[in-house]
Structure 1
């Protein structure tokens, strides 16, 4: 009787395991059998777009180009889940892939535009530029919903405005030339802009990450928290310390 009971228990466990495996494919977020599919590239033509909004996990490459289009790269099964919305001058990127078991490669989105004026991140992503991006003004907004964003851009703008919100986190590397650079830093944001020449740099440091900048004429820093700052160049330096709530404005400003 004991042997039969053990055999029955083993069979029951096997049946339960098979049942779980059979039901998993119907659950999109827990699908161990999903495959990315064959590699494809899907082109979507764009007209008059200058603003990018990211709403899901992507690897995004920005290209300044007179020929304006979006090129999606990846497995055909995953590319089919990408959604794009174009509203006036804004391109919004999203996808419905939510598999928590199978670790598939990031969807690549290569965006070709005549000029980039605004980049907004609402989700984790990696941004990089192919060549130099140029124009009059570039705004970069990193929301707290984005969680973690990595960015590496080569820029040639008159004015750069970078603003991170709430508990945003990530590393941001900028090179090139921006006559005036303005940073509002909240969360755990690490800025490496020591290879981007600016005549004037303004920093509001309300986070705990480090900021490295290159300022030739003026460096204006307002300190609310503990994230230290490092600078290149020989600027006139203005430092203000402001205490907000229970934060201690203890950050320091050092030459590199």
Structure 2
């Protein structure tokens, strides 16, 4: 986990202006604050955080981190969407990423617009869940326990990372780009569709049907006994050479 923290910080520094770096200021004394929020079912992440999501009857954010980061932390909670960010960019003194504990009664969508670590405490459940990694997401790491009828994961651009999913979802859809590695061999599904345009690998569990379209060289490793359909699409000079292989 320490390695991913340093990588997240490196990406942030590369994308931040040096004019915002004050060599005399660190992240400050560690503090913790509870923020109550309005009801939301969508989370948009616009700052580097280490986040734990808990599904219960409340809607709140518990912040733990340096007071100088807290001063530049902000969120909005409008139209069922919680948007979280901070403008702190002086990571030269203190490499500790601020921690957030987010509570909500229902979650339908998570959108990453920057690097983040994300995990669940307990299981997230509902009808549908969608996760989006935008082109600006850079490096994302997540470890989620899920119970949904339909689960979708969509990565764009050069975003990359290790993504672990566990639980039960009847239907799952993955759109993979760049070097995202999927570890969903403990996420039991009945039907799955994968559009694979990445270099990373996907480890999955599917029982009934698996449909994979390859655009690049990343592989799919499966467990279960599904009916498998494979398509290959040539894009530019890429080789759609990925394979579907039993684990």
Question: TM-score with structure 1 length normalisation?
Answer: 0.87
Matched, 1:63 2:54: yes
> Which 4+ runs in 1 deviate beyond 4 A?
none
- Report the CA distance shift for 1:173/1:251 in structure 2 as closer, same or farther (over 3 A): same
Residues 28 and 99 in structure 1, CA contact (< 8 A), matched pair in contact too: no
Structure 1 residue runs of 5 or longer lacking an equivalent are 1-26
Greater CA drift, 33-42 or 59-68:
33-42
Residues 60 and 128 in structure 1, CA contact (< 8 A), matched pair in contact too: yes
Alpha-carbon distance in structure 1 between the residues aligned to 2:48 and 2:65? 13
Alpha-carbon distance in structure 2 between the residues aligned to 1:243 and 1:30? 45
Residues 217 and 239 in structure 2, CA contact (< 8 A), matched pair in contact too: yes
Matched, 1:88 2:79: yes
Q: Deviations over 1:110-159 (max 9, x none)?
A: 11000110000010000000110001000000011111100100000100
Match of 1:47 among 31, 35, 38: 38
Alpha-carbon distance in structure 2 between the residues aligned to 1:158 and 1:33? 51
Matched, 1:73 2:64: yes
Q: Which residue of 1 aligns with 2:7?
A: none
Matched, 1:115 2:101: no
Q: Deviations over 1:13-41 (max 9, x none)?
A: xxxxxxxxxxxxxx873323323333222
SS in 2 for 1:79: helix
Match of 1:154 among 138, 145, 155: 145
Q: Which residue of 1 aligns with 2:188?
A: 197
Q: CA deviation at 1:245?
A: 1.8
State which structure, 1 or 2, has the greater radius of gyration over its C-alpha atoms: 1
Structure 2 residue runs of 5 or longer lacking an equivalent are 1-17
Q: Which residue of 2 aligns with 1:128?
A: 119
Matched, 1:31 2:22: yes
Residues 62 and 128 in structure 1, CA contact (< 8 A), matched pair in contact too: yes
- Report the CA distance shift for 1:109/1:81 in structure 2 as closer, same or farther (over 3 A): same
SS in 1 for 2:20: coil
Alpha-carbon distance in structure 2 between the residues aligned to 1:77 and 1:165? 32
Alpha-carbon distance in structure 1 between the residues aligned to 2:240 and 2:116? 30
SS in 2 for 1:78: helix
